Structure 1
Amino acid sequence: MPHEILDDDAHRMMDLYLQRWDLLHRALRKRVGSHDLADEAMQETWFRLRRVVQRREAVRDPKAYILMVAANISIDLIRRERRHIIGHDSDAAVIGAVADEMPTAEAVLIGRSQLRQLVQVLMGLKPKAREVLIMNRCAGMTHREIAAQMKISDRMVAEYMTQALRHCRDAFRALED
């Protein structure tokens, strides 16, 4: 005859879920093939466990129960995704529906760090060399157009470009070391 779950048992089950969160999340991510679906499965697992605790249902083996609940949820999510994919007309539509164009937080942080480094390197250039480099690489201007705008010779534009590129190369090599 099943016994009523005690408050200590409930706390142990929820604590076990939290203690094993990383391990369970990794396993679900492998199983469902998506970080977002694994997050959804983890959240739904938490809600189902809370309902069991609130109803004070007895659970003989909390660890096995948590795994079973998470596995069943992941199966449901996989089935739902398959039904969703089957409804699309083409692979391109599926990829378009699944692909996330937004960069990850990590990619944003790396990009910001690289941008700061680039600005520091560019600020280390002599003003005219920096102006020539930016006009050429960012504005897409030719050496002749730059020379006309800055009222300098084509040879000086080439000289400034050479200085700027060497400086950038050397500065970025130093950052890598």
Structure 2
Amino acid sequence: MTVADSSCVQNLYASHHHWLHELLRRRLNNAFDAADLAHDTFIRVLKRPQVFDGETHERSYLATIARGLCIDHWRRRQLEQAWLETLAAQPQAVQPSPEQRAIIVETLYEVDAMLQRLPERVRDAFILAQVHGLPYRAIAEEIGVSERMVKKYLAQALMHCAMLEAELDGLLIQ
């Protein structure tokens, strides 16, 4: 079956939504988050037409998408929790408004997603330079590469940052 056909998507949804929702509810321990992620799973199915060889393949495909969405969900929650803990340590006078908080959290999600797309050593070099302020030599020693490779890694990371900024500004044409 191809999910590009709307009746096939309806059948897929009718056949597996309850099963998927229960799977996600058990993983997330929250029915509301499970409902959101089940919905997001079917949205992804609509965006990526697929041919299935039967019910087992359908469920496997849905579970794979849902697993990735759960990982993203947990990562976002960890990031938000870290932000809230940092925010709680700040004096009340410097607390951002609710609108600013929402913008900051969304930007943190975007930066985290960008960092996750980077190769591990590039990500490590970038974090050591930008967050910890280490010089190239110390970064090179920390991740076991030459200073020249550190420069290359940081250039690669900065290119991704520029692309992220362009995306956030709506300048990147897809």
Structure 1 or 2, whichever has the larger Rg, is: 1
**TM-score, with normalisation over the residues of structure 2?**
0.43
**TM-score, with normalisation over the residues of structure 1?**
0.42
